[in-house]
Amino acid sequence: MIEVSVKDLYRQWLNDPVVDDETKAELRALEGQEKEIEDRFYRDLEFGTGGLRGVIGAGTNRMNRYTVGRASQGLAQYVNSLGTASPSVAIAYDSRHRSPEFALEAALVLAANGVKAYVFESLRPTPELSFAVRHLGASAGIVITASHNPPEYNGYKVYGPDGGQIVPDAAEKVMAQIAAVDSFRDVKRIERSNAEAEGKLVWIGKDIDEKYIQAVVEASPNPGVVRAAEQAGVSLRIVYTPLHGSGNLPVRQALAAAGFRDVRVVAEQELPDPQFSTVKSPNPEERDAFELAIRVAEAEGADLLLGTDPDCDRVGAVVKDADGKYTVLNGNQTGALIAEYIMENLSARNAMPKNPAVIKTIVTSELGAEVARHYGAAVLNTLTGFKYIGEKMTEFERTGEHSFVFGYEESYGYLAGTYARDKDAVVASLLIAEACIYWKRQGLTLYDVLQRLYERHGFYLETLESRTLKGKDGLQKMREMMDEWRRNSPAAAAGVQITEKLDYMQDVHGLPLENVLKFLLADGSWFCLRPSGTEPKIKMYFGVKGANNEDARNKLDSLVSDVMSRIDAAI
């Protein structure tokens, strides 16, 4: 049976005069569906690595105008508590269902609380929001997006004044303010016409776009690389798919500004589509997302394929392998290649900054770290989530301890340049294309260069496994699994001794506390268990280093098999 508190919440929504008739009709249609009602009301949406994220629909555990309004009321109260003379928030959104409506709802609540809302007049990439917060001197930022989640999802990501996603300390303060909003009647809201007339709702667009693209292009370590290649008779043919998201215009604009002229867009996936109707998932980590792009590439003889997710903060790259077949690079491989391109060119131009640093996450491959160290750069590890990389960048800016050169994570997120504090698929697309034409001029493909990196630094292989555990029962199961691995950690995995257990719920290298376990093995392999902060999943990351590709593959297969047998036995 459903708990009384859940039933009470359900009835409160049905009887609340603030809740509109359409929402109430949706709820009445659920009468007798106790499991569904429980899933919608057993909790409030919580901030994870990406802020609020959930299925669109009525309920406290859903994305709707009321949960967005309540979150915005809490954010407004938090921003006003900072004592800023003229508080403001920049807002962007992507192509998902209800994104424009949720963005406007947030703006009108902020405006009613005396906080100016700068809102993009149409969909924009998440990294441009990060840039806009910094450029406008805003107190905070919001992006309405659910990244690569299925079409039924949307989300609400909050950014701090540095342009980075808010980290746990700030998130807890925002959540405390949200929790203090007891009723929808406590959510202040102003009409759009009044907000515009009072200057509390300001629409932004082209001017920010131009400055953002300029900042992206200026992040190149070799600004003349395209022109130099063309003068040598070398050109590049690129196929690009925005996967129905917000990357279509900015990615093409950045590539054009850098000199790339031969860019073919996958027509079926060019325009915004909240259903993402041509793919199973709008996720550039999945080869299926590139099916149409690969067909175009094969017909056109393309050198490079690029695909960005709906909010254009992550990018996947597809290149030809040794047999001439198109292969999807994983996030670790792409990150290592971008790092090599940046570091090699900065070194060649004597443009390496003082005390250079590359930042990556604890579940990201060591290959990119080895590349960075090869060129004399420091390597810093953060928890999973680009907000921690952005936090380190801001720390460098304050202390001068290091100069940021490149940041990346295995989940296809990359950033070069200091104009933003979040991963940026626009600059990453540009850098991948530049790297491709740079090495093509030398008679090398990106695949060739990757093999060269393996020969130089070792054959690193990684993979990710996940298990979906939905609803209240799923959350409890994930907690139990993590507790069990803490209490009864194995002494070995795949026949190799485990030399160290890193429990990030304890103090590890001064990092924030998080429910993550990482196990280090005697042969340099590792694996990590982490409940997702944005999806109902528990994720298992694996990494090995081998003497050659076959050795690394055998090590990885054995490690995954051993660990996942224990994981699956517990589900």
Quick one: 291 and 399 in the same domain?
Answer: yes
pTM given for the model: 0.94
Q: In what order do the strands lie in the sheet with 356-361?
A: 378-382, 356-361, 403-409, 413-415
Quick one: 10 and 141 in the same domain?
Answer: no
Contacting residues for 462 by C-beta, under 8 A, at least 6 apart? 330, 332, 365, 410, 541, 542, 543, 544, 556
Considering only CA atoms, which of 238, 216, 225 is closest in space to residue 426? Answer: 216
Please give the Cα distance from 527 to 499 (Å, whole number). Answer: 12
Quick one: 172 and 316 in the same domain?
Answer: no
Contact call for residues 467 and 568 (beta carbons, < 8 A): yes
Q: Could you tell me if residue 69 is inside a domain?
A: yes
What pLDDT score was predicted for residue 475?
87
Quick one: 163 and 49 in the same domain?
Answer: yes
Q: Could you tell me if residue 227 is inside a domain?
A: no
Strands (E), 111-216: 116-120, 140-144, 153-159, 201-204
Quick one: 181 and 280 in the same domain?
Answer: no
Quick one: 327 and 406 in the same domain?
Answer: yes
Please give the Cα distance from 459 to 409 (Å, whole number). Answer: 19
Q: Could you tell me if residue 218 is inside a domain?
A: no
What pLDDT score was predicted for residue 81?
96
Please tell me the total count of domains within the chain. 4
Structural domain boundaries, residue 482: 459-570
Q: Is 136 helix (H, G, I), strand (E, B) or coil?
A: helix
Any bridge partners for residue 498, and if so which? 521
User: Which among 181, 211, 241 is the end of a domain?
Assistant: 211
Output the 3-class SS for 221-272. CCCCHHHHHHHCCCCCCEEEECCCCCCHHHHHHHHHHHCCCCEEECHHHCCC
Considering only CA atoms, which of 123, 70, 75, 106 is closest in space to residue 192? Answer: 106
What pLDDT score was predicted for residue 1?
41
Give the CATH number for residue 58. 3.40.120.10
Quick one: 419 and 538 in the same domain?
Answer: no
Q: Over the chain (571 residues), what is each successive 10-residue block's mean pLDDT?
A: 74 94 96 94 75 92 95 96 95 98 98 98 98 98 94 96 93 90 93 98 98 98 97 98 98 98 98 96 94 97 98 98 96 98 98 98 97 98 95 97 98 98 98 98 98 97 94 89 95 97 93 94 96 85 96 98 95 86
Beta strands at 403-409 and 356-361: parallel, antiparallel or unpaired: parallel
Quick one: 107 and 160 in the same domain?
Answer: yes
Q: Is 355 helix (H, G, I), strand (E, B) or coil?
A: coil
Please give the Cα distance from 522 to 265 (Å, whole number). Answer: 47
The answer to whether the Cα torsion of 62, 66, 72, 78 is positive or negative is negative
Quick one: 271 and 416 in the same domain?
Answer: yes
Which structure tokens are listed for 156?
A: 């609400």
Which structure tokens are listed for 539?
A: 């994720």
Q: Could you tell me if residue 225 is inside a domain?
A: no
Q: Could you tell me if residue 221 is inside a domain?
A: no
Q: Could you tell me if residue 178 is inside a domain?
A: yes
Contacting residues for 293 by C-beta, under 8 A, at least 6 apart? 239, 240, 241, 266, 269, 305, 307, 318
Please give the Cα distance from 124 to 92 (Å, whole number). Answer: 6
Please give the Cα distance from 75 to 69 (Å, whole number). Answer: 10
Query: Which residues does the annotation mark as catalytic?
Result: 147
Which structure tokens are listed for 52?
A: 């609020």
Q: Could you tell me if residue 219 is inside a domain?
A: no
Give the CATH number for residue 468. 3.30.310.50
Q: What is the DSSP letter of 530?
A: E
Q: Is 356 helix (H, G, I), strand (E, B) or coil?
A: strand
What pLDDT score was predicted for residue 471?
82
Quick one: 482 and 452 in the same domain?
Answer: no
Quick one: 476 and 445 in the same domain?
Answer: no
Q: Could you tell me if residue 216 is inside a domain?
A: no
Quick one: 267 and 405 in the same domain?
Answer: yes
Which structure tokens are listed for 190?
A: 């102003």
Considering only CA atoms, which of 425, 118, 417, 407 is closest in space to residue 250? Answer: 425
